Structure 1
Amino acid sequence: MKANTVYKRAHNQCLALLAGRPLGEWPCSEAELAGTLDVSRTTVRAVLAGLTETGITRAEGPRRALHRHPVPGDYFPDPQTETVAQVVERKFMQWVLHGDCRPGEVVHASELARLFGTSTTAVREFLTRFSQYGLLKRRENSGWIFAGVTPDFAAEIYEIREMFELRSAHRFVELDPASPAWAALDAIEAEHHRLLAEIDARYTDFSHLDERLHRLIHEASRNRFIRDFYDVIAMIFHYHYQWDKADEKERNRVALTEHLDYIAALRSRDLRLVDAKCRAHLRTARATLLRSLATGPLNGRTSNGPATPSG
């Protein structure tokens, strides 16, 4: 099951890379692709075989070529690509977002495991990792206490986020022009334009696209601590700011435009421009987070129950 999930996730990631490439020769070695997807060469070979079977790529002598671009039906559904840890993370943050967990409340791994339909061990591992950032405090006997996100905590997390993202952005512009990361950026940029064109109906899809862009940039750091830290960034920014539903469509439209400016700056390889666009976008994200903390999850409820999270 685990290997199947790894394969499906690598398959989808590879499709995202190919979506932004021109048709024709694809000069990417198995070793390079394995490094980009962070999987073994065995998994890469399985992915490449699958791409050939579906006609996305084909062999032209000793070389490989992109024969057609991926379509939505080529991708595995998102739930099939999640690890157990990702399932626990998503369900925990949805639980918090619904207002079922408030600052000061005791959290028990066994109760969450029953609620989430996962093992107690998986929940305990998540809570232990999450507690390292100060959002959960271990009780002396058993369980954890949920500390919540305060304005002071938000200020601290923003300061570290800016530092790490600027460093990652600098490393990104240093990548070789043939690096698969640039093709991934092409695909993400194209999706930004599509989402902007369909913003009225799809504005809630922004969170997923936002995470893909920033995670791609953080991956360029090739620093395990920076990459791991992005997990807590995603949890805090992508869930907490959804508490504030006021002007959500317009806020996401602005963020999409800021992303496109940021992407253009990365392509320019002008570090001063990259810094300016990165800082401007992160300031907007910080303001949204602080506003959401003032709103709180309970203000997102309706008379029919808790608000349903998007993303």
Structure 2
Amino acid sequence: MKTNTVYKRAFNRCLSLLAHRAPGEWPFSEAELAEALEVSRTTVRAVLATLAANGLVRTSGARRFLLRAPEAADYFPEPQTETVAELVERRFMQWVLQGDCQPGQTINASELARQFGTSTTAIREYLTHFSRFGLLERHPNSGWVFKGVTPAFAAEIYEIRELFELRSARHFVGLADDAPAWALLDEIERQHHRLLDEIDDRFSDFSRLDERLHRLIHQASSNRFILDFYDVISIIFHYHYQWNKADEKERNIVAIQEHLDYIAALRSRDLRAIDAKCRAHLRTARATLLRSIDLGPLRPHGTAGLRTAGIPVPAALS
């Protein structure tokens, strides 16, 4: 099942690389495609075989030709590409967001495994990973304790996020013009425009698109520590601030526009423009996170918690 998921994720990502390319000679070697998709050559060959079977690619001797651009029906459904770790993450954060887990509460790994329909081992691996960052704490003979996200914790993680993302963005614009990452950026930009056109019905889809853009940028660093840290960013920024739904559509419209400005700056390769657009967007994300921490999942209003912690409250939140 794990191999099947890896293959399906690689196949969908390959389709994104090919999106809106004109038919013609195949643009990648097997080695280049394996690197871009972060899979083995064996998986790449399986992807290529399916592309051929679905009429996207034709092989002639040692050469391949792209016959058509991918369509929506060519992609595997998103639930089929979800790894066990992603499934555990999604269900755990849904559990937190529903108010079932509050700071200071003890977490029983066996009970969560039963609720989530997964193994206790998968739950423990997940909890162990995030305990390193202070979100969870292991207590002898009493399981795990959820410590939650405080304004002070958010301020610390924001500082590191800004540092790592700016460094990653510099690596990104140093990529060659034909690097697969640029094709992926093109596809992500198109999805932003499509989401903006359909925002009234799909505004809640922004979180996943936000994760795709920032992860793509961080991957350009090729730094395992930056990528590992980004998993924590994903948890905190893409789930925690969803506690407050009051102005979600409006917030996401602003964030989409900031993303499009950021993408334009990346294409310009102008480091000053990149720095400015990146910092502006991350400041907005930080303000949203701090507001959600202060409001919590149940409280309707308030900014006293931020001021108590000594963190400035943006005028828009006062």
In the superposition, the TM-score normalised over structure 2's length comes to: 0.92
* Alpha-carbon displacement from aligned partner over 1:17-63 (angstroms, at most 9, x marks no partner): 11143332332111111111111000001001111111122235543
Structure-2 separation of matches of 1:155 and 1:89: 23
Alignment of 1:28-177 (within 5 A): 28-59=28-59, 62-177=62-177
Q: Is 277-286 or 133-142 further displaced after alignment?
A: 133-142
In structure 1, the residue matched to 2:249 is 249
The CA deviation string for residues 175-226 of structure 1, in whole angstroms up to 9 with x for no partner, is: 0111010000110111111111111111111111111111111111101111
- CA deviation string 1:124-168 (max 9, x = no partner): 111001101100011022311100000000001111111111111
| CA deviations over 1:78-128 (Å, ceiling 9, x no partner) | 221111111111111110011100000000111111111111111011100
Q: Provide the aligned length of Structure 1 versus Structure 2.
A: 300
1:57–1:65 contact (8 Å) kept in structure 2: yes
Contact kept in structure 2, 1:255 and 1:281, CA below 8 Å: yes
Residue 284 of structure 2 aligns to which amino acid in structure 1? Answer: T
Amino acid at match of 1:46: A
Q: Is the 8 A contact 2:18 2:70 kept in 1?
A: yes
Q: Which residue of 2 aligns with 1:294?
A: 294
Quote the offset at 1:278 in angstroms. Answer: 0.5
**Alignment correspondent of 1:193:** 193
Q: Is the 8 A contact 1:21 1:183 kept in 2?
A: no
Task: Provide the rounded CA distance (Å) in 2 between the counterparts of 1:217 and 1:225.
Answer: 14
2:207 corresponds to = 207
Distance across 2 between alignment mates of 1:28 and 1:20: 15
**Bigger RCO (CA 8 Å, 6+ sep):** 1
Alignment-mate amino acid for residue 50 of structure 1: T
CA contact (8 A) 2:22 2:68 kept: no
- Counterpart in the other structure of 1:279: 279
Q: Distance in 2 between matches of 1:23 and 1:192?
A: 24
Separation (CA, whole Å) in 2 of partners of 1:20 and 1:298: 44
Identical aligned residues as a percent: 73
Q: Name the SS of the counterpart of 1:175 in structure 2.
A: coil
Quote the offset at 1:263 in angstroms.
Answer: 0.4
| Partner Cα distance (2:184, 2:214) in 1 | 12
Partner residue in 2 for 1:309: none
CA contact (8 A) 2:244 2:295 kept: yes
Deviation at 1:247, TM superposition (A): 1.6
**8 Å CA contact 1:21, 1:186 repeated in 2:** no
Q: 5+ residue gaps in structure 2? A: 301-318
User: Which one-letter code corresponds to 2:145 in the other structure?
Assistant: I
Paired amino acid for 1:289: L
Q: 2:21 matched to which residue of 1?
A: 21
| C-alpha contact (below 8 Å) 1:20/1:183 kept by paired residues | no
CA distance in 2, matches of 1:96, 1:250: 24
In structure 2, the partner of 1:10 is 10
Is 1:236 matched with 2:236?
A: yes
Map of 1:305 onto structure 2: none
Partner-residue secondary structure (3-state), 2:221: coil
Any gaps of 5 or more consecutive residues in structure 1?
Answer: 301-311
Structure 2: how far apart are the matches of 1:178 and 1:61?
Answer: 25
Query: Could you tell me how far apart the structure 2 residues matched to 1:299 and 1:24 are?
Result: 57
Post-superposition shift, 1:246?
1.7
Cα 1:24–1:296 change in 2 (3 A) is same
> Given that residues 106 and 142 in structure 2 are in contact (C-alpha distance below 8 angstroms), is that contact kept between their aligned partners in structure 1?
no
- 8 A contact 1:84–1:122 mirrored in 2: yes
TM-score (norm 1): 0.94
